[in-house]
Amino acid sequence: MEKAALTIYLIILVLSPLLFGAVHTYAYTLMALGILSGSLLLVIKSIKKEIKTGTYQVHLPNTSLNLLYIVLLLFLFFQFIPLPESLIKLLSPETLVIKEKSIPASMAIDSNKHVSGWLSLAPYIYPVRISIIRWAVYGLFFLGLSQILNSRKRIELMLFLILMTCCFEVLYGLFETFSGSSHIWWFKKIYYISDVTGTYINHNHLTGLMEMGLLLAVSYSAALAERKRRRNIPGHKTSFRVRLARFLSGEQMFNKRTLILFAGVVMGIGIIFSASRGGMLAAAAAMLCMGLLFIVRGGHRRNGVILFLLFLITAVYALHIGVEYPLGRFKSFEISFESRTRLAQRTLDMHEDYRLTGVGLGNFRYAYPRYQLPEFKQFFVQFAHNDWVQFLTEAGIVGFFLFLAGISYYLYRTFKLWRMRGDPFAVCLGIAPIPVMTAIAIHSYSDFNLHLPANFLMLVAIMAIGYSALHLENHHGIEKSLYRNHVMPLKYRGMVVLVLVLLLMGWTSLWTIRHFMAEAYCNTVHNPTFNRDQNPPLEEIREAIGWDRWNAEYWFKKARELMRMRDEMILTRGQRTEGRGQRTEDRRQELQLEITKALEEAVKLNPFEARYHMELGWGYTYLWRLTGYDKKWLAAADISIDRAAYFAGDKSPDMHVHLGNYWVIRSNTIDPSNPEWEAAWAKITWHYKKAQSLKKGKQMLDSIMRFVWEYYPDVEFVKKVIPDHYPVVPLQ
Sheet holding 47-49, edge to edge: 47-49, 56-61, 485-489
Does residue 690 carry a pLDDT above 70? Answer: yes
Q: Residue 116 has what pLDDT? A: 66
Closest CA to 140 of 150, 148, 152, 130: 148
Q: Residue 698 has what pLDDT? A: 81
Return the percentage of the chain with pLDDT > 70, whole number.
85
- Using DSSP's 3-state secondary structure scheme, residue 474 falls into strand
Q: Residue 577 has what pLDDT? A: 47
pLDDT grade for 732, boundaries at 50, 70 and 90: very low
pLDDT digit string, tens, across residues 473-484: 765 455 666 677
For the segment 534-561, the average pLDDT, to the nearest whole number, is 95
Does residue 576 carry a pLDDT above 60? Answer: no
Does residue 727 carry a pLDDT above 70? Answer: no
Does residue 275 carry a pLDDT above 70? Answer: yes
Does residue 247 carry a pLDDT above 60? Answer: no
Q: Residue 316 has what pLDDT? A: 62
Q: Residue 343 has what pLDDT? A: 87
pLDDT grade for 228, boundaries at 50, 70 and 90: very low
What beta strand segments (E) does 187-292 contain?
187-188
What domain range includes position 196?
A: 2-80+122-227+249-496
Q: Residue 215 has what pLDDT? A: 92
Q: Residue 687 has what pLDDT? A: 93
What beta strand segments (E) does 503-564 contain?
none
Which pTM does this prediction carry? 0.90
For helices 493-521 and 25-45, angle between their N-to-C axes, nearest 10 degrees: 160
Closest CA to 152 of 404, 625, 586, 473: 473
Task: Report yes or no: 210 and 274 within 8 Å, Cβ to Cβ.
Answer: yes
Q: Which of 224-233, 335-344, 500-509 has the highest mean pLDDT?
A: 500-509
Q: Mean pLDDT for the chain?
A: 85
Q: Residue 337 has what pLDDT? A: 74
CB crowding 91-117: b at 16 or more within 10 Å, else e: bbeebbebbebbbbbbebbeeeeebee
Does residue 729 carry a pLDDT above 60? Answer: no
Give Cβ neighbours of residue 652 (< 8 Å, ≥ 6 apart).
369, 377, 610, 694
Q: Residue 731 has what pLDDT? A: 47
Task: Report yes or no: 85 and 54 within 8 Å, Cβ to Cβ.
Answer: no
* Separation CA 571–CA 450 (nearest Å): 49
Does residue 233 carry a pLDDT above 70? Answer: no
For the segment 592-612, the average pLDDT, to the nearest whole number, is 95
Does residue 545 carry a pLDDT above 90? Answer: yes
For the segment 14-37, the average pLDDT, to the nearest whole number, is 96
pLDDT digit string, tens, across residues 619-633: 999 988 888 888 889
- Using DSSP's 3-state secondary structure scheme, residue 239 falls into coil
Question: Does 294 map to a domain?
Answer: yes
pLDDT digit string, tens, across residues 150-185: 888 999 999 999 999 999 999 999 999 988 888 999
Does residue 531 carry a pLDDT above 70? Answer: yes
Q: What share of the chain is helix, strand, coil (3-state, %, to 5)?
A: 70, 5, 25
Question: Does 697 map to a domain?
Answer: no
DSSP for 681-720 reads HHHHHHHHHHHHHH---HHHHHHHHHHHHHH---HHHHHT
For the segment 493-501, the average pLDDT, to the nearest whole number, is 90
Give how many domains the chain has, as a whole number.
1
* Separation CA 679–CA 682 (nearest Å): 5
In degrees rounded to 5, what are phi and psi of residue 289?
A: -60, -45
pLDDT grade for 229, boundaries at 50, 70 and 90: very low
Question: Does 85 map to a domain?
Answer: no
Closest CA to 401 of 69, 72, 63, 93: 72
pLDDT digit string, tens, across residues 616-675: 999 999 988 888 888 889 999 999 999 999 999 888 889 999 999 999 999 988 888 888
Does residue 534 carry a pLDDT above 70? Answer: yes
Task: Report yes or no: 286 and 436 within 8 Å, Cβ to Cβ.
Answer: yes
- Using DSSP's 3-state secondary structure scheme, residue 58 falls into strand
Q: Is the model more confident about 20 or about 422?
A: 20
Question: Does 672 map to a domain?
Answer: no
Question: Does 159 map to a domain?
Answer: yes
CB under 8 Å, gap of 24 or more: what pairs does 225-233 form?
Answer: 225/257, 225/300, 225/302, 225/303, 225/424, 225/428, 226/250, 226/253, 226/424, 227/423, 227/424, 228/299
Q: Are strands 82-84 and 56-61 parallel, antiparallel or unpaired?
A: unpaired
Identity (one letter) of the amino acid at 682?
A
Q: Is the model more confident about 215 or about 225?
A: 215
Task: Report yes or no: 569 and 588 within 8 Å, Cβ to Cβ.
Answer: yes
Least confident of 384-388, 432-436, 624-628: 624-628
Closest CA to 145 of 485, 479, 461: 461
For the segment 566-592, the average pLDDT, to the nearest whole number, is 70
Does residue 552 carry a pLDDT above 80? Answer: yes
Question: Does 367 map to a domain?
Answer: yes
Question: Does 599 map to a domain?
Answer: no
pLDDT grade for 314, boundaries at 50, 70 and 90: low
Does residue 516 carry a pLDDT above 80? Answer: yes
> How many C-beta atoms lie closer than 10 Å to residue 308's C-beta?
11
For the segment 328-345, the average pLDDT, to the nearest whole number, is 75
pLDDT digit string, tens, across residues 113-141: 566 678 999 999 999 999 999 999 999 99
* Separation CA 547–CA 594 (nearest Å): 19
Task: Report yes or no: 128 and 49 within 8 Å, Cβ to Cβ.
Answer: no
Question: Does 717 map to a domain?
Answer: no
Does residue 73 carry a pLDDT above 90? Answer: yes
